[in-house]
Homo-oligomer: A and B are copies of this chain.
Amino acid sequence: MAADTLPLAEYLIARLQQLGVKTMFQVPGDFSMGFLDICDDSGLRLVGNCNELNASYAADGYARVLQQDTSAHGHEGARLAVLCTTFGVGELSALNGIAGSYSERLPVLHIVGMPGVASQEKHAILHHTLGDGNFDTFAEMSSHVSCATALLARHKGDPQKLADEVDRVLSTCVGEARPGYLGLPTDLLHVPVDKALLERPLALAHASNDAAREQACLEAISKAVAAVKEPIVVIDACTIRHGAVREALQLVDDSGLSFVATPMGKSALPEDHPSFAGIYLGPNGKGHEKLHKKVEGADLYLFIGALRSDFNTASSFTEFTRQADTIEFHSDRTQVFDQHFDGIGMKELLPKVAALLAESKKDRTPNELHPRNELPSREAEGEAAGPNGDVISQAWLWQRIGSVFEEGDQIIAETGTSSFGLLDTTLPGGLTRFHSQVLWGSIGYATAATLGVAFAASEEGLGRVHCFTGDGSFQLTAQELSTMIRYGLAPVVWALRNDGYEIERQIQGPERSYNNISPWDHEALLKALYAPSAPSSAGGAEEAERKSHAKDVKNVTMPQYHAVRTKDELNALLDGKLGKEGLQLVEIFMRRGDAPQALIGQAEATSKLNA
């Protein structure tokens, strides 16, 4: 290889490293191992997942953390997550996870190790194929959930084009905050690519706002703002996805306006901010009548990064904000009432709107609804607290749990009682972040995503990772705890034990057996999933074994299990018994049939919609 070239695989890895990527999630396969060797030699950390779906969830979780702007803390986070699978069998197992990242807008690069171009051109009936000699089918399937796809086999004779394709997929993936797909054949890994191509800047940013059009937009906003008395800011998902958190924060700081967040916007802006009024659940916000009244009573909505899905409007599309009174800020467009300003993106616009609103800051009524975690009355808990009131009810749990979180902690919630319950928990500020698949809502996501969140949190120097899941959801992806322990990660996994799929029971079939699960023993499970002292073979090839395990077994602290059956037991745990090192699995026994208020309302709406 000439001195001014490097192999294609190394080009790709160098690009990833330029983008800050330190970790790649993967399950090996014979069409990907050649690439894995080169990654390994290049110092990219290869995380070995138990299966590909879990790997894709982990990559999604990793990408979520990276959407936080940690630069003020001296960290420069990676710009995307990377997942590597093998052709056919591996990549298809990851598709649900990738679709989730597409739906919820997370930049995940999916590198698929493909059979060699030589085999492809012969239409060979290889294993891991449909037996039809077609090697493009799986990329076509993935293209529905990728914003950019490249099959590198198509450019085998053209090194410059190969590099261009890598760059195109990377830029689009980061720029659009969505998955990209790169099909990498085994026999192109070593194609020499011009090193100088690595110096080209990757086009990651959006186009700038057109000055005249932006001015027109600002004038419309200025006019709208002048006419109103009680505007309110609504923070939604795309504020995070399109990196406008800092700008949104500046707007609430400068304007003095109160703000609420949607479920998908939760924690984008710090919840300890004096202007934070709560999570807005529309008519479904039982117990939050004051907030509901305040939002309904507003005469202008500054809606930032809106994503109006059923669960995110928390009421299956019941009137959310009145369009006639709403200004919507998106990554690439702005809407002032019925006036559309395409191409005017919020990242540049919001600081100017902030300046506009700062003028009238002194006239604002201060926010009086700042939420706090307050334990419910025994009456409010009702039957869920058991005859003696000592059973941990949903109403009590989500208020009590708030005290365990510290600034910078990362909280992952499974779609279910956890994701709805945590909406009621007010979180600390700073870089604390709430992660949940409110739109995609794939059962089993939270546990495996925790692996990725924990890696990213550790790389970025953030706080502890807390995963909340249920006993039903846990069973889909439980084995990934094993990977967390193996790599020395120490999240707290809170598993709510309530005898099955409670979210489903709230919607339909509360007594149907399809909502039952097999009874597991989670304490035994934790022992099962990491047992380094047991022999792992009949011996032999000891040298190879020792050598290749050496990288994995550093810094492993054995995990701890905690069973929590009463309020006193949870109090004791929160007051000091929770281990600081090593993974903690906390099983909270709750009553079947108990659910957070927000879930009960949502379930009714969903059930009606399905009928």
The interface of chain A, by Cβ under 8 A from chain B, is 26-31, 33-34, 36-37, 40, 46, 48, 50-53, 88-90, 92-93, 95-96, 99-100, 102-103, 115-116, 118-119, 124-131, 137-138, 140-141, 144-145, 186-187, 307-311, 317, 383-384, 386, 391-392, 415, 438-444, 471, 475-479, 482-483, 485-486, 497-501, 504, 507-525, 527-532, 534-541, 544-545, 547-549, 551-552, 565, 589-594, 606-607, 609-611
> Which B residue sits closest to A445, measured CB to CB?
B89
Cross-chain contact B476 with A538 (CB below 8 angstroms): no
Contacts A31-B610, A547-B511 given; indicate if A590 touches B538 (C-beta within 8 A): yes
Task: Give the complex CA separation of A90 and B129 in angstroms.
Answer: 23
Task: From the candidates B127, B547, B548, name the one contacting A441 in the complex (CB within 8 A).
Answer: B127
Contacts of A515 in B (CB 8 A): 28, 548
Q: Determine whether the beta carbon of A513 is less than 8 Å from that of B545.
A: no
A508 contact set on B, CB distance < 8 A: 30, 33-34, 37
Q: A28-B514, A31-B610, A524-B531 are in contact. List 10 more A-B contacts (CB 8 A).
A: A30-B607, A50-B518, A92-B95, A99-B138, A126-B309, A128-B442, A384-B540, A519-B536, A523-B528, A540-B594
Q: Are B187 and A610 in contact (CB under 8 A)?
A: yes
- Known interface pairs A51-B477, A127-B440, A609-B119; A521-B513 also in contact (CB < 8 Å): no
CB <8 Å contact, B520 and A482: yes
* B residues in contact with A115, CB < 8 Å: 609-610
Q: Which residues of B contact A439 (CB under 8 A)?
A: 125, 127, 129, 131
Interchain nearest-CB distance for A498 vs B (Å): 5
Cross-interface CB contact of A507 among B33, B92, B310, B609, cutoff 8 Å: B33
List, in ascending order, chain B residues with CB within 8 A of A529's CB.
518, 520, 525
Nearest CB of B to A129, in Å = 7
Report B-chain residues with C-beta under 8 Å of the C-beta of A440: 88-89, 127-128
Flag if B53 contacts A93 (CB, 8 Å).
yes
Q: How far is B88's CA from A309's CA once the two chains are assembled, in angstroms?
A: 15
Contact B30 A504 (CB under 8 A): yes
Q: What CA separation (Å) do A514 and B26 show in the bound complex?
A: 9
A521 to B525, CA, bound (A): 9
Most B Cβ at <10 Å: residue of A126, A127, A130, A311: A127
Q: Are A309 and B544 in contact (CB under 8 A)?
A: no
A46 to B50 Cα, complex, angstroms:
27
9 nearest A-B residue pairs (beta carbon): A540-B591, A521-B531, A525-B528, A524-B528, A92-B96, A89-B442, A499-B537, A541-B593, A51-B476
Q: Is the CB of B476 within 8 A of A50?
A: yes
Query: In the complex, are the beta carbons of B521 and A527 less than 8 A apart?
Result: yes
- Complex Cα distance, B443 from A52, in Å, reads 10
When the two chains form the complex, which single residue of B37, B510, B518, B544 contacts A593, counting CB atoms closer than 8 Å? B544
Q: How far is B31's CA from A507's CA once the two chains are assembled, in angstroms?
A: 10
Q: Please pick, from B29, B30, B552, the residue contacting A513 in the complex, using a CB distance under 8 A.
A: B552
**CB-CB under 8 A for A103 and B116, given A124-B317, A518-B529, A520-B528:** no
Report the Cα distance A513→B512, complex, angstroms: 45
Contacts A30-B610, A311-B127, A514-B33 given; does A539 touch B591 at CB 8 Å: yes
Pick from B116, B124, B541: contact of A591, CB below 8 A: B541
Tell which of A29, A102, A140, A529 has the most Cβ of chain B within 10 Å: A529
Cβ contacts under 8 Å, A125 to chain B = 307-310, 317, 439
Q: Can you give 14 A-B contacts (C-beta < 8 A)?
A: A28-B509, A28-B515, A52-B96, A92-B95, A119-B609, A125-B309, A391-B538, A471-B536, A475-B482, A497-B538, A511-B548, A513-B551, A516-B552, A538-B589
